[in-house]
Amino acid sequence: MKLFFESKQLVINSKEKSILFNRNSAGSVEYAILDNLYEPVDGFQLYKDNVLKYSIDIDSMDRVHLVALMKSGELNYSILENGNWSNAIIAKFDLHSKIYSDIILLTEENNINIIYGYANLINSKLWTIQHVIGKNQNWDQYSIAKFISDKNMASYIVDRDSLGNIQLIYSSMEGFTSQVYHTFYNIYANKWNPIPNKLSSSNIKKVLPYIFLDTKDNIHSLWLEDSNNNYILKYSRFSSAGENKFTWNQVKVPYIASCTNHPIIYEEKGILKIIYTKPGSIGYIYSPDYGHTWHEGEDFKTDFSNINLIKISNCTFNSNSKINHVYCSIGKKLNFIFFDSFNSNDTESLKSKDEKDKSIMEEDTSEKTEIMIKELLKNQETINTLILKTIESQQKVEKDIEYILELLMNKKSSLFDKIFK
C-alpha cells in the first residue's frame, strides 16, 4: 500500500484567494500564492528547515494559522494577517523520550484547538491523543483516548459539525486485529465523550480511518479492511435526523477492492463522493441522498507519480458543498480530481454535465423555435391570401346589394300601393 502524506495543504480565503503550503524533504515550509486558475504567482519560505510536522487552518477573518513542530521539540505558532507573519513558541515537546503523530489545528473565532498523538519510546504501541484549547491566552488540556497501534504512527482524523463540536475517528488494536472507534468533544459541556463508539465488528484488520461531516451534520466514516493484503472499502453513517438518527449504521456501498491509499469523502452541490485509489487508477462512488444509497461513478487510469492528497482549509463554500481533502495532480498548476468547483475557472471543457446538457437543450430549443417561426410565416401568407379573396368576394356582394336596392327604390311606389291600398 502506497501512502500519500499531507505534505501539501491548501488555504482558500473568503475572497477565493489561494495559498499552497508544502513541507519538503529537508523540513522547509514553503508557500505559494496562486491565481484563479491555481497557478503559482509568488513563492515564499516561512521556515528554512527542521520542521517535523505542521498544520494549517483559516478563521472567519481570513487569518491563516499555522503550527509547526520543530526538530528541537519547539511547537511554533504563526499567524498570517494582512500579508505579515507573527510568530511565537507555545510549547516544548519531549522528543528524547516520546514520538509524536500528526498535529491537527482547528480555529474558531478566538479559540485555538490543537490535537496531537504521542507514545513513549519504551512502549511505542500505546498511544494517547491529546487536545489543547487556547482561549484568551488561557490553555486547557484534555486526554481524548488511549489506544494500541501496531505501527510507529497513530491513525486518527477529525472534523467539526455546524455547532463547532469536534468529531474524531481512530483505529485501535484488539488482539490480533484492529477496530474503528468514534468519539466527540461537546463545546457546551467542555468535555470529550468518555466511552468511544466502536463502528466496526469483523475480525479483519482495519486501516486508514476517515471521518467527514456533511452540510446536514450527518457523520460519515470510511476505512479499509485488510483481507490478505486486499484492501476493501467500508462505510458507516451516523444520521442527524430521521428514523435512525443518532445511531451508527453500516451502509452497503459498491464493492471496491484493491485500494491503495486513504479513501476520502466530500460534498459538492449536495452530492457526496467517496474517492478511492487502486493500482494505476483512481475512481469514485457517489450518493445523491446524503449517504443512504451509493452508486458507482467514474474510474480512470492515471500515473500516481504526480498525484497528491492535499488538506483543504477554506471559507468559500455555500450551504451544500464542503471539502476537507482532495486528490490532485501538480504540474504548472493544481488539477483537482473529481471536484469540479475548484476547476470552474478553467475552460469550457470543464463544464459540468448538467451545464452541457442545458446548453444542448437551449440550442435544440432555439432550432425548434426557428422552424416554428418559419411555419407561422408560411401560414400567415396563406391566411393573407384567403383574406384578400374574402375581401374581393365581399366587394362583389356589396355591389350586387347596391344594384338590388336601386331596383327596389325605383319600384317602391307601385309596390306600396298594391299592399296598402
Q: What is the pLDDT of residues 55-80, one digit of tens each?
A: 999 998 999 999 999 999 999 999 99
The CATH number fitting domain 8-350, selected from 3.30.590.10, 3.10.20.70, 1.10.10.10, 2.130.10.150: 2.130.10.150
CA distance 90 to 92: 7
CA distance 206 to 234: 9
Please give the pLDDT value at position 139. Answer: 87
| Confidence (pTM) | 0.80
Backbone angles phi and psi of 235, in degrees to 5 = -145, 140
Phi-psi map region of 385: left, alpha, beta (phi>0 left; psi -120 to 50 alpha) = alpha
Q: Model confidence over 9-48: pLDDT tens digits?
A: 999 998 889 999 999 988 999 999 999 999 999 999 999 8
CA distance 187 to 189: 6
Please give the pLDDT value at position 348. Answer: 37
- Range 248-254 average pLDDT: 95
How many angstroms separate the Cα of 258 from the Cα of each of 254, 280, 281, 346?
Answer: 13, 11, 11, 33
Q: Are the CB atoms for 265 and 273 separated by under 8 Å? A: yes
Helix (H) or strand (E) holding 398: helix 353-410
Per DSSP, 228 falls in state T
CA distance 71 to 91: 13
CA distance 220 to 203: 22
Q: Model confidence over 319-360: pLDDT tens digits?
A: 789 999 999 998 889 999 999 888 654 433 334 444 444 444
Phi-psi map region of 109: left, alpha, beta (phi>0 left; psi -120 to 50 alpha) = left
Q: Identify any residues that bridge with 283 across adjacent strands, giving them in sequence order.
A: 276, 299
Q: Are the CB atoms for 128 and 117 separated by under 8 Å? A: yes
Q: Is the pLDDT assigned to residue 314 strictly greater than 80?
A: yes
C-alpha cell of residue 357: 446538457
Strands 197-198, 205-213: pairing is: unpaired
C-alpha cell of residue 421: 291600398
Q: Identify any residues that bridge with 230 across adjacent strands, giving them in sequence order.
A: 227
CA distance 67 to 56: 7
User: Strand (E) positions, 239-354?
Assistant: 248-250, 264-268, 271-278, 281-287, 295-301, 307-314, 325-330, 334-336
